[in-house]
Amino acid sequence: MDLRSWFPTLYTQSKDTPVRSRDATLYLLRCVFLMGVRKPPAKFFVAYVLWSFALNFCSTFYQPIGFLTGYISHLSEFSPGEFLTSLQVAFNAWSCSTKVLIVWALVKRFDEANNILDEMDRRITDPGERLQVHRAVSLSNRIFFFFMAVYMVYATNTFLSAIFIGRPPYQNYYPFLDWRSSTLHLALQAGLEYFAMAGACFQDVCVDCYPVNFILVLRAHMSIFAERLRRLGTYPSESQEQRYERLVECIQDHKVILRYVDCLRPVISGTIFVQFLVVGLVLGFTLINIVLFANLGSAIAALSFMAAVLLETTPFCILCNYLTEDCYKLADALFQSNWIDEEKRYQKTLMYFLQKLQQPITFMAMNVFPISVGTNISVTKFSFSVFTLVKQMNIAEKLTKSEMEE
């Protein structure tokens, strides 16, 4: 099977191929559609509504409740390792459900952002610029599939390791099912938990990867824009009026970039804020589980879970730092253009534009945290605080001792 024919945007297109920046989110938006948060298509209205109900009922709404109810009903039956395996996922499941609801409410902004990308594409005519966007598109789609692989490996690994020891993966509460009573009930509960967790991981990929997909292609356009700024005033055949018009066109291009960022800002702000709130706690529980309680199978599952949790914020935070540097490069590029000998009107406009370019594009998590590598490190370090607290209070030894007494 030729993967290129099935997934063409995973591969870099030739420089003669027309630019379609929106293809950077092609597979992402297809999966967003499969999340059941889109307007149902007329042709498959009933099927789509049923699928949306089944997936979102199991993964978005019931799964967080199932974790909590399971703790209330059967807390004494959990071993310390099983409890931590369940608890680390429970916090992430609650945050995932919240992020899904945020994306559900604001999903139309993805379409608006793609329409703005189409405006940017119309300014690209050079073959080298087209190739730069094609590379960003293919990289974006490959990252999406990488996210999907990491998340699904975790869900499947946890399921298989739990089945191997004869228990459901998370021991959620399901009415009329008691997995201890028979093998059939065990199989049914394990299957339901796997479906709910696989669905949650599928949703989590979409709500965690979309900032990376949208910002990667923006960085390609900003790099092209920087070269466009650097070339201002370097064409000797142009008149003063033509050079001024080129400067005005660049100002309009910058406004389009800012409009694109403003379109995505509310979605990114909400989802990253939710993740920042729980990432330290989740990683702390995972570390405790790996170091103190996990056997080989559950340790591998926990490590894959940790990788998935780190993917939820780290790549986008790195991109935000790069985006700030890109903004400073735009200002440098404009200053390096040939403006010294231009007319006064041109120089005044350029100086005003330069001041605007010196204001970096930043994202805030609900106007509380700046989204950056520094913030990501700070919230991640909280996991070591959780681990240290548990060690100092000897909670692990107490849990192990009580389990042995039972």
Q: What is the tally of structural domains in the chain?
A: 1
Within a domain: 114:
yes
Tens-digit pLDDT profile for residues 108-122:
999 999 999 999 999
The token duo for 302 is: 């926990």
Within a domain: 354:
yes
Average of per-residue pLDDT across 272-292: 82
Pairwise CA distance, residues 90 & 305, whole Å: 12
Rounded to 5 degrees, what are φ and ψ at 391? -65, -45
Judged by average pLDDT, the poorest of 123-127, 220-224, 399-403 is 399-403
Element (H, E) at 365: strand 364-365
Within a domain: 159:
no
Which pLDDT score, from 0 to 100, does residue 322 have? Answer: 95
* pLDDT interval class at 78 (50, 70, 90): low
Which pLDDT score, from 0 to 100, does residue 218 have? Answer: 96
Is pLDDT above 60 for 406? Answer: no
Within a domain: 7:
no
* pLDDT interval class at 75 (50, 70, 90): low
Exposure class string for 29-64: b at 16+ Cβ within 10 A, else e? bebbbbbbbbeeeeeeeeebeeebeebbebbbebbb
* pLDDT interval class at 181 (50, 70, 90): confident
CA–CA distance from 201 to each of 20, 129, 150, 256, 348 (Å)? 28, 36, 9, 34, 53
Within a domain: 165:
no
Within a domain: 158:
no
Which pLDDT score, from 0 to 100, does residue 403 have? Answer: 47
Strand partners, 370: 364
* pLDDT interval class at 171 (50, 70, 90): confident
Would you say 220 and 133 are in contact if contact means Cβ atoms under 8 Å apart?
yes
Which pLDDT score, from 0 to 100, does residue 82 have? Answer: 67
The token duo for 98 is: 């919240």
Would you say 214 and 317 are in contact if contact means Cβ atoms under 8 Å apart?
no
Tens-digit pLDDT profile for residues 205-259:
999 999 999 999 999 999 999 999 999 888 888 888 999 999 999 999 999 999 9
Which pLDDT score, from 0 to 100, does residue 278 have? Answer: 85
Is pLDDT above 70 for 391? Answer: no
Domain extent at residue 233: 21-145+197-403
Would you say 256 and 120 are in contact if contact means Cβ atoms under 8 Å apart?
yes
Is pLDDT above 90 for 288? Answer: no
- Burial tier of 220 (Cβ tally within 10 Å: 0-12, 13-18, 19+): buried
Would you say 42 and 144 are in contact if contact means Cβ atoms under 8 Å apart?
no
Which pLDDT score, from 0 to 100, does residue 140 have? Answer: 96
